[in-house]
Chain A
């Protein structure tokens, strides 16, 4: 039991120190090839690029809009139960969440069309894990405080249970086209290969204990709850069997599913960049307009019904001849019948979390046209022409929105980017969202010959004590980039 609690706590709160969906540092950081993944219509200048397998793009993000790890686990001498009560139960609402996202690029390759140099093609594979759990406020209070005492008459909302998670492998192919000197458009098609998916996002119901019509208390429960899972049962069974081949079996299942052997889905990304004038650019993108059809290894669990009980009741004279002494068992059976919990294997569609970015950028501090003179591609590089001017500085703002089970989450970012020739570019951001009002991020892109390395880190102020952070994000990767025929 202790171990179970530890695992739950660490899973719930430990996730807060990993990685997020918003990639405000990467967005429109067009020196980094991976910026194509957050805006297929970003301005590209390279001839080709190849990500170094597995380490071309690693991104980890964790967020909690409520309690932090430090709030609960700091070695501060305060009674732990008191901390849970005051910092978790009394403070967090059902819109607070714990979320974690991670992405690992397996392969990424991009190249400019030989016959159509205005087109830049990119394709690759990446894995993504995304889990969000909203704080089940009323259920947590019910578990910690119960339905008695001050909670008599309180309606506990069973709809507070809301979670979703998935692990997928994504095969993608995108086209980025410079339509004119001012406009670049892009689109990307994605084939999703799901490893597992689970969601419990449409729950409703309540549990209430009040003064009874007859007896002192009556308890009423109304529930319509469902947990949908795909790809989970087989993994669970393998682990549960705990045979000598567990590791091998898991590897086999995992390998099959990442290589299109599991549930499949399809999605699209779109994006653009448009120069309002030589120094002002607006961009936008919409990502993961897609779904996964979950039809294999599907196990759904349901709990639905309604009942009210006041305990064992005997009415005379009606029950005078009822000598049955199993009234308690009958009561339990009645409740079970009124609230059936079942299983089914109905397939279901899970929608990907759609993301939208938008930005406006003002460039200034002209640095000449030297930075990309060797492009050889004559597209968005330096060398001459109105759109090819090189500016050392960029200042702007970005908007990010993501569709979550409880609605759209938004983040607003202000940024400043400074370029030091081709070798180094830095981007600083300040982001406001539900997780943090003090999120300052810093990104750096290093270009050492053809070798590109980038590292992007969010919420730097929290690095003094990561455990007290509501949000942490880290992305980095290596690429080989060519601007000419090399």
Chain B
């Protein structure tokens, strides 16, 4: 009888441990996790002064270069690319009307797509173009299959005039923000 309080306490202790429980957990929810970061990066920057344009003469292609560009067609990236936007910004302070062509080429060098910009001479404002890819935009496959870019710059004007602007140039900037599904 003397030990009864001890037994009660002991029993209570065991009951406490027995009472320990946990609500139902569903660890399979991990499968539903979606990791879709938006990655931003500069892509291609092109700059030319007016003297270089003039040196090639009137109505001429003053720059044409094909550059390897595997940013999107690496298998890991291509499989996870969902959507995105490539932004182009162009400033032309030269005295010439210019045309910039950016072609997206596949492994065999075939054009998949092209962005063409015709910029007036002494363009007063920065030309900005957002090109969406994915749902509502151009097919994402264009980027996934792009292996190289061909950038061409064409002078649509004479080859002698000089802009009165300080340090006249044609500048092409480009950057991308793309959504990837990592999981």
B42 adjacent to A309 (CB under 8 Å): yes
Q: Write the nearest CB–CB distance from B62 to chain A, whole angstroms.
A: 8
A219 adjacent to B17 (CB under 8 Å): no
B:161-183 near A, CB below 8 Å: 173-175, 177-180, 182-183
What CA separation (Å) do A446 and B27 show in the bound complex? 39
Given that A148-B177, A320-B63, A326-B68 are known contacts, is A73 also in contact with B45, CB under 8 Å in the complex? no
- Is A385 located at the chain interface by the 8 A CB criterion? no
- Is B125 located at the chain interface by the 8 A CB criterion? no
- Is B108 located at the chain interface by the 8 A CB criterion? no
A146 adjacent to B174 (CB under 8 Å): no
- Identify which of A6, A216, A313, A457 contacts B175 (C-beta below 8 A): A216
What CA separation (Å) do A481 and B38 show in the bound complex? 64
Contact with A along B1-41 (1 / 0, CB 8 A): 00001100110010011011111111101111111011111
B25 adjacent to A152 (CB under 8 Å): no
B10 adjacent to A446 (CB under 8 Å): yes
Given that A316-B47, A460-B16 are known contacts, is A143 also in contact with B182, CB under 8 Å in the complex? yes
Residue of B nearest to A421 (CB): B6
A457 adjacent to B17 (CB under 8 Å): yes
- Is A212 located at the chain interface by the 8 A CB criterion? yes
Q: Tell me which residues across on chain B come within 8 A of A69, comparing CB atoms.
A: 25
B68 adjacent to A327 (CB under 8 Å): yes
B42 adjacent to A80 (CB under 8 Å): no
Q: Write the nearest CB–CB distance from B59 to chain A, whole angstroms.
A: 18
Q: Tell me which residues across on chain A come within 8 A of B5, comparing CB atoms.
A: 420
- Identify which of B10, B33, B67 contacts A312 (C-beta below 8 A): B67
Q: Tell me which residues across on chain A come within 8 A of B51, comparing CB atoms.
A: 317
What CA separation (Å) do A426 and B26 show in the bound complex? 37
B41 adjacent to A217 (CB under 8 Å): yes
Q: Tell me which residues across on chain A come within 8 A of B23, comparing CB atoms.
A: 70, 74-75, 465, 467-468
Contact with B along A424-449 (1 / 0, CB 8 A): 10100000000000000010101000
- Identify which of A74, A80, A144, A320 contacts B30 (C-beta below 8 A): A80
Q: Tell me which residues across on chain B come within 8 A of A297, comparing CB atoms.
A: none
- Identify which of B34, B63, B177 contacts A316 (C-beta below 8 A): B63
Centre residue among B9, B39, B62, B182 by max chain A CB count within 10 A: B39
Q: Tell me which residues across on chain A come within 8 A of B27, comparing CB atoms.
A: 6, 9-10, 73
Q: Write the nearest CB–CB distance from A317 to chain B, whole angstroms.
A: 4
- Is B70 located at the chain interface by the 8 A CB criterion? yes
- Is A248 located at the chain interface by the 8 A CB criterion? no
Q: Write the nearest CB–CB distance from A333 to chain B, whole angstroms.
A: 12
B29 adjacent to A72 (CB under 8 Å): yes
- Identify which of B21, B30, B42 contacts A464 (C-beta below 8 A): B21
B22 adjacent to A467 (CB under 8 Å): yes
What CA separation (Å) do A218 and B40 show in the bound complex? 9
Given that A148-B177, A216-B89, A457-B17 are known contacts, is A209 also in contact with B34, CB under 8 Å in the complex? no
- Is A79 located at the chain interface by the 8 A CB criterion? yes
- Identify which of B69, B151, B175 contacts A217 (C-beta below 8 A): B175
B42 adjacent to A311 (CB under 8 Å): yes
What CA separation (Å) do A320 and B89 show in the bound complex? 22
Q: Write the nearest CB–CB distance from A97 to chain B, whole angstroms.
A: 21
A148 adjacent to B39 (CB under 8 Å): yes
A:143-159 near B, CB below 8 Å: 143-149, 151-152
Q: Write the nearest CB–CB distance from B153 to chain A, whole angstroms.
A: 8
Centre residue among A209, A215, A466 by max chain B CB count within 10 A: A215
A interface, size bucket: 35 or more
Q: Write the nearest CB–CB distance from A89 to chain B, whole angstroms.
A: 11
A215 adjacent to B33 (CB under 8 Å): no
Residue of B nearest to A17 (CB): B22
- Is B112 located at the chain interface by the 8 A CB criterion? no
A442 adjacent to B13 (CB under 8 Å): yes
A424 adjacent to B9 (CB under 8 Å): yes
Q: Tell me which residues across on chain A come within 8 A of B178, comparing CB atoms.
A: 148
B29 adjacent to A80 (CB under 8 Å): yes
B52 adjacent to A317 (CB under 8 Å): yes
Residue of B nearest to A142 (CB): B37
Q: Tell me which residues across on chain B come within 8 A of A444, comparing CB atoms.
A: 9-10, 13
What CA separation (Å) do A320 and B153 show in the bound complex? 12
A148 adjacent to B52 (CB under 8 Å): no
Q: Tell me which residues across on chain A come within 8 A of B9, comparing CB atoms.
A: 420, 424, 426, 444
What CA separation (Å) do A329 and B30 show in the bound complex? 36
Q: Tell me which residues across on chain B come within 8 A of A74, comparing CB atoms.
A: 23-26
- Is A423 located at the chain interface by the 8 A CB criterion? yes
B174 adjacent to A81 (CB under 8 Å): no
Given that A79-B32, A311-B42 are known contacts, is A465 also in contact with B87, CB under 8 Å in the complex? no
B25 adjacent to A70 (CB under 8 Å): yes
- Is B115 located at the chain interface by the 8 A CB criterion? no
- Is B116 located at the chain interface by the 8 A CB criterion? no
What CA separation (Å) do A54 and B173 show in the bound complex? 68
What CA separation (Å) do A315 and B23 show in the bound complex? 63
What CA separation (Å) do A399 and B174 show in the bound complex? 59
What CA separation (Å) do A446 and B6 show in the bound complex? 10
A:1-31 near B, CB below 8 Å: 1-2, 5-6, 9-10
Given that A314-B65, A325-B68 are known contacts, is A146 also in contact with B40, CB under 8 Å in the complex? yes
A-B contact pairs, 14 of them (CB 8 A): A72-B29, A75-B25, A75-B26, A148-B177, A209-B40, A212-B175, A216-B175, A311-B174, A312-B44, A312-B69, A314-B44, A424-B9, A457-B16, A460-B16
Chain A residues with CB under 8 Å of chain B are 1-2, 5-6, 9-10, 69-70, 72-75, 79-81, 84, 142-149, 151-152, 209, 212, 214-219, 309-317, 320, 323, 325-329, 420, 423-424, 426, 442, 444, 446, 455, 457, 460, 463-468
Given contacts A9-B30, A215-B173, A444-B13, 7 further A-B contacts (CB under 8 A): A5-B33, A73-B27, A212-B45, A216-B173, A217-B175, A309-B42, A328-B69
